[in-house]
Amino acid sequence: MSENAAATPTDSPEAVQAGLVSSAYQQALEVIAGVEPRVAEATRQELADQRASLKLIASENYASPAVLLTMGTWFSDKYAEGTVGHRFYAGCQNVDTVEALAAEHARELFGAEYAYAQPHSGIDANLVAFWSILAHRVEGPWLEKYGAKNVNELSEEDWESLRHELGNQRLLGMSLDAGGHLTHGFRPNISGKMFHQQQYGTDPQTGLLDYDAVRAKAKEFRPLVLVAGYSAYPRRVNFAKMREIADEVGATLMVDMAHFAGLVAGKVFTGDEDPVPHAHVVTTTTHKSLRGPRGGLVLAQEEYAPSVDRGCPMVLGGPLSHVMAAKAVALAEARQPSFAGYAQRIADNATSLADGFLSRGANLVTGGTDNHLVLLDVSSFGLTGRQAESALLDAGVVTNRNSVPADPNGAWYTSGIRLGTPALTTRGFGHDEFDQVAALIVDVLKSTTPGTTKAGGPSKASYRLEDGVADKTRAASAEMLDKHPLYPGLELV
């Protein structure tokens, strides 16, 4: 192309890029179809389905083609237990390169002292964090007392006592129905079994975190680990205050920013709302608002680094080198100036979505949002979360049901719907479109009535959506979705 040639739609950088991506996927699918055509077909169909629906699941997003393509390589074939430059397997020099890059980008992006890129998912990152805190705070001092370098040097009786000590520690986290995660001490979860646990909730009147109540509980319970972070709380958290509470009781503050890492990366959450300067250990997923590959990360203050490094093979299976490579690509993307704009639009769009509901008379837990999600209480529509979720799915609106605080319908049927803006914001939806999304959802819920059980009572699961509403909603969504194509220019023949 000559330098003077005017950029035409077909030779603009975006078009060239889209052409490369199209042919990469076209050819990959042909290779896959040669072995198992049904997998190739399902993969094509998944793209078509994702393109045609309003994705409002607060924990989902759309990673870039560069991130997705990075995952499909021979890095998948390599074992790399250990850490960068210190592996239990030979020939890890290229894995070292990508893992070191992922960690460096993570440290720079979040201003963290230390980053560990190996966790396979958010839950795995939390397991690494728990064991790291136990090793640092309990096992370390114990070994020191016995003058031992590691557990192999302990006598059988001493090892038995250490095991008892490790299994006898306390954790305080946010309850599931207040918006916390299963791994924050929920009884049936391993975190609620390996630790003596207690949970803090939110204020029954306002639905907001009550720091004085958290402090009172921490002072009474004196946990080793104080966990902050959430999956379904529509508000920001003051992590400086949480650190103060942790310090008052001698706890380690662990923040799980799985949901809102993108807002931290994009500097929407700064100062007291940025967990990294305040927490001893921060865990996250990389695939939610951060918009990377499916995976996890641990960030830590230097003193926790040696115990975090023992994640694999003491807690985790061998690292997924192809995913660590994709984390490096995604984190490089998040360090570009445009990511801050994306993060700000996520938050602005959530405000628009919340206002859209409130102006149409719907109830939101906490009365609104100041992060990336809203929690819609559907009981005023006479529905359970399960009925609302199903009726919305019929109309092409993908959400998930979620309990509201003190939910009368329990964790299975629930009374809420959780909606997040990261995915549609990636597609380019803006303020007015999120208002229209709220209008469509209210319309579907108003047109849905609960079914009846065999005994004649109101059902919590079955429902009836008025004729024509699903089609009308799909048509209105399609107009917006067509305006903001997913992976623009990616065409498969």
Ligand X SMILES: *Cc1c(COP(=O)(O)O)cnc(C)c1O
Q: What is the rounded CA–CA span in Å between residue 77 and residue 299?
A: 26
Please say which residue, 59 or 384, places its beta carbon nearer to ligand X.
Answer: 59
Among 300, 463, 340, which residue's Cα sits nearest to residue 393? 463
181 in contact with ligand X (CB under 6 A) = yes
450 in contact with ligand X (CB under 6 A) = no
Which of the 8 DSSP states describes residue 151?
A: G
Which of the 8 DSSP states describes residue 410?
A: H
Q: Which of 122, 234, 293, 405 binds ligand X (CB under 6 A)?
A: 122
Among 375, 400, 404, 402, which residue's Cα sits nearest to residue 390? 400
123 in contact with ligand X (CB under 6 A) = yes
289 in contact with ligand X (CB under 6 A) = no
Please say which residue, 124 or 433, places its beta carbon nearer to ligand X.
Answer: 124
121 in contact with ligand X (CB under 6 A) = yes
Q: Which of 229, 266, 356, 396 binds ligand X (CB under 6 A)?
A: 229
* Size of the residue set binding ligand X (CB under 6 A): 13
Chain residues 259-278 in contact with ligand X, contact rule CB under 6 A: 259
Active-site residue set = 79, 81, 256, 285, 288, 294
Which tokens in the block code for residue 198? Answer: 């207690």
Which of the 8 DSSP states describes residue 281?
A: E
Comparing every residue's Cβ against ligand X, the nearest one is 122
Chain residues 5-64 in contact with ligand X, contact rule CB under 6 A: 59
Residue in the structure block whose two tokens are 């997003």: 61
Among 242, 217, 245, which residue's Cα sits nearest to residue 229? 242
Q: Which of 139, 256, 333, 355 binds ligand X (CB under 6 A)?
A: 256
346 in contact with ligand X (CB under 6 A) = no
The answer to whether 215 and 196 are in contact (CB under 8 A) is no
**3-class state of residue 448 by DSSP:** strand
Q: Phi first, then psi: what are they for 83, rounded to 5°?
A: -130, 175
414 in contact with ligand X (CB under 6 A) = no
Q: Which stretch binds ligand X (CB under 6 A): 108-116, 119-127, 307-315, 482-490?
A: 119-127
285 in contact with ligand X (CB under 6 A) = yes
Which tokens in the block code for residue 408? Answer: 């009368």
183 in contact with ligand X (CB under 6 A) = yes
402 in contact with ligand X (CB under 6 A) = no
Q: Which stretch binds ligand X (CB under 6 A): 79-87, 116-124, 218-226, 243-251?
A: 116-124
Q: How many CB atoms are closer than 10 A to CB 292? A: 30
Q: What is the rounded CA–CA span in Å between residue 265 and residue 257?
A: 11
The answer to whether 326 and 292 are in contact (CB under 8 A) is yes
- Integer-rounded Cα radius of gyration of the chain: 24
191 in contact with ligand X (CB under 6 A) = no
Q: Which stretch binds ligand X (CB under 6 A): 159-167, 187-195, 253-261, 268-276?
A: 253-261
List of residues contacting ligand X (CB under 6 A): 59, 121-123, 181, 183, 229, 231, 256, 258-259, 285, 296
